[in-house]
Amino acid sequence: MMLGAAGRSIRYRLFLVVLATTFAALLVAGAGLAIYETVRYREDWRNELETQAQLLARATAPALAFDDVESAREYLALLEARPEIVAAAIYNARGKLYAAYRRDEESGSPFPVLPEAEGSQTDGRYLVLFQRIVENDEILGSVYLQAEYELWGRLADHLLILSAVMTASLLVALLLSTWLQRSVTRPILGIASVTRRVVESRDYSLRVERTTDDEIGVLVDSFNGMLAEVSRRTEALEATNRRLEREIAERERAEQGLRDLAEELERRVADRTAQLEAVNYELESFSYSVSHDLRAPLRAVAGFSNVLEEDYADRLDDEGRRLLGVVQSEAGRMGQLIDELLAFSRLGRKDMHISEVDMVELARDSFERLAAQHSGRLPALHLGALPACRGDRVLLGQVWANLLSNALKFSAKRDDPQIEVSAASDGSEHIYFVRDNGVGFDPRFQSKLFGVFQRLHGASEFPGTGVGLALVQRIVTRHGGRVWAESKPGEGATFYYTLPKERGDESD
């Protein structure tokens, strides 16, 4: 049905093309002739009136010169031989009506009171003309002529003729369109019919019969060639589809195997994670128990050494008192080590309280507290812009305290100690850093920095327990960040840590 409608549409279009072309050509030609006739009629009629006015001017010039009104009227009366002139008049040199003529009482318009400038113009359905009467370079008066302007009648005649010609031409065009439909649309309808059968039956062996040797014949050959190519490609596509179906089935089996393997790996990872969590919990519990149990003998050592110093110091020689000082100092260092070990073990079980943290204020407060306890030369602090973040304020304060404490400690022996605190940001995280101009460290041993009890400098030179940086790494890792350091011996050190730009509330 669709192809049949398309065939009727082609016939209809051909019919409209022929008729519309003929009609447009005739309409343009008729319009051109009408315009030409209008211009020509106006020019011819004006020229004819000018000639008549010149004749009247020559004839009536003596009458005006000798004031012979009767002669002027007789010349005007001769215009009865020109019925198209409805009125005429002679004006003297003073512009007064001298003699007049009117074809009948009802024709024409009233005579002008005064003559106008020489020339012609249309006045409704009349053409009016003024002509000067000149004798020996002296203006004796004016001729006035008023004639019927039959332009619309002539145009009506032309339109009538044009209508008759257009009707005959359209009839001829109708006959031509009928012949064109037979010779042009029949092969096209054959193509449409075969196309419909191919779409309905998927039979690409069908062909259109060629009946002409013109462009439509070439179109038929091209259409038949296209059907042959479509048939070939359809067979190749069906073979490819069968091969793809087999490959898809094999891939689905492989993907199912991968899913089974992934589920098995996830189960094993979950089991191993649970085992690691259990081991970590046992290690933390063990560390807590050991640290707690060490406190009792350590308190005894510290207490008895204090008693020995207070009650028996006068009985000890200098070497004895020095050794007693060593015992007390090491007992104090052991107590500090136990405290930091307990803090490290508690960190894994401590809940995190996430909130908005002003890092500038937190870093400044941490430095001021450390500066108040610092006994050596106080470094100059250069505090840059630090973006706020979301995290546990207490734990992040511990990060700043440990990093700034290391910077104070390792730059204290410089003549001009300097500490710089600043940050940078990228698309996903904030990068904070603490830089000092202290003794630095050998980058080959960087992997030991964040291990528990790992130290790169001697305890006698720089006191400490080796737990502070391990605490920093654990706190930052719980916040989803990273920690690293850069340094060279004698050129200071820079410690970096990152925090995600956006984090929700969490607890570990």
The predicted-structure confidence for 113-137, as pLDDT tens digits, reads as follows: 888 888 877 776 778 888 888 888 8
Query: For 334-347, what is the mean pLDDT?
Result: 62
Whether the Cβ atoms of residue 93 and residue 139 lie closer than 8 Å to each other: yes
**Spatial distance between the Cα atoms of 431 and 386, rounded to a whole number of angstroms:** 9
* Residue 131, CA distances (Å) to 56, 58, 95, 109, 423 in order: 9, 11, 13, 18, 103
Q: DSSP letters of 83-107?
A: TTEEEEEEEETTS-EEEEEESSTTS
Which of 78-82, 445-449, 458-462, 474-478 has the weakest average pLDDT?
458-462
| Cβ 63 vs Cβ 69: under 8 Å | yes
Do 205 and 231 touch, CB atoms closer than 8 A? yes
Tens-place pLDDT, residues 400-415: 988 888 888 878 778 7
pLDDT the model gives residue 458: 42
Asked whether the predicted pLDDT for residue 20 surpasses 60, the reply is yes
Enumerate the β-bridge partners of residue 436: 419, 493
What's the rounded Cα separation, in Å, for the pair 165 and 167?
5
- Quote the CA–CA distance of 171 and 177 in Å, as a whole number: 10
pLDDT at residue 47 is higher than 70: yes
Give the pLDDT confidence score for residue 508 in this predicted structure.
40
* Cα-based angle 11, 17, 18 (whole degrees, multiple of 5): 95
% of the chain beyond a pLDDT of 70: 75
Residue with tokens 């339109």, as numbered in its chain: 159
- Over residues 138-144, the mean pLDDT reads 86
Task: Specify the higher pLDDT residue, 48 or 301.
Answer: 48
* Cα-based torsion angle of the residue sequence 232, 233, 238, 242 in order, rounded to the nearest 10 degrees: 110
Which residues, in sequence order, are bridge partners of residue 383?
Answer: 421
Radius of gyration, alpha carbons of the chain: 60
Confidence of residue 504 (pLDDT cuts 50, 70, 90): very low
The long-range contacts involving 228-232, CB below 8 angstroms and separated by at least 24 positions, are 228/204, 230/204, 231/204, 231/205
Render pLDDT for 365-381 as a digit per residue (tens, 0 to 9): 988 888 887 777 788 88
Model confidence at 1: pLDDT above 60: no
Q: Report the pLDDT value the prediction gives residue 186, as an integer from 0 to 100.
A: 67
Contact 452, 467 (CB under 8 A): yes
Report which of residues 163 and 206 the model is more confident about. 163
Using a 10 angstrom Cβ sphere, with 0-12 exposed, 13-18 middle and 19 or more buried, the burial of residue 235 is exposed
Contact 120, 51 (CB under 8 A): no
- Other beta carbons within 10 angstroms of residue 379's beta carbon come to 23
| Cα–Cα dist 455/404, whole Å | 17
- Give 152's pLDDT tier (boundaries 50, 70, 90): low
* Cβ neighbours of residue 18 closer than 8 Å, sequence gap 6 or more: 173, 174, 176, 177, 180
Q: Which residues of 161-173 are buried (b: 16+ CB within 10 A; e: fewer)?
A: ebeeebeeeeeeb
User: Of 40-49, 97-106, 158-167, 428-437, which has the strongest mean pLDDT?
Assistant: 428-437
| Residues 150, 440: Cα–Cα separation, whole Å | 117
Is residue 507 very low, low, confident or very high in pLDDT (cuts 50, 70, 90)?
very low
Q: Highest mean pLDDT: which of 143-147, 190-194, 205-209, 463-467? A: 143-147
Residue 288, pLDDT above cutoff 70: no
At 292, which helix (H) or strand (E)?
helix 215-312
pLDDT for 387 equals 92
Block residue for tokens 């145009």: 155
Does 100 have pLDDT greater than 70? yes
Say if residues 479 and 499 touch (Cβ distance below 8 Å). Answer: yes
- Arithmetic mean of pLDDT over the chain: 77
Which residues have a Cβ under 8 Å from the Cβ of 449 and sit 6 or more positions away?
441, 456, 469, 485
Q: Which residue would you say has higher pLDDT here, 155 or 385?
A: 385
The answer, yes or no, to whether residue 432 has pLDDT greater than 90, is: yes
Residues in Cβ contact with 473 at an 8 Å cutoff, skipping those fewer than 6 apart: 450, 483
Residue 455 to residue 449: CA distance in whole angstroms: 7
> Is residue 111 a contact partner of residue 144, using CB atoms and an 8 Å limit?
yes
Q: Which residue type, as a one-letter code, is found at position 223?
A: F
What pLDDT score does 160 carry?
79
Greater confidence (246 vs 290) lies with: 246
Does the structure show a pLDDT above 50 at 344?
yes
What are residue 355's DSSP bridge partners? 391
Secondary structure of 356-400 as H, E, C letters: EECHHHHHHHHHHHHHHHCCCCCCEEEECCCCCEEEEHHHHHHHH
Could you tell me if 141 and 64 are in contact, meaning their C-beta atoms sit under 8 angstroms apart? yes
Cα separation, 146 vs 84, whole angstroms: 9
Q: Which amino acid is at 255?
A: E
What the block records as the tokens of 290 is: 């050991």
Decide: 94 and 100 in contact? Cβ < 8 Å. Answer: no
- For residue range 221-263, list pLDDT tens digits in order: 787 788 777 878 878 888 888 889 888 988 888 888 888 888 8
pLDDT at 90 over 70: yes
- Rounded to 5 degrees, what are φ and ψ at 374? -80, 135
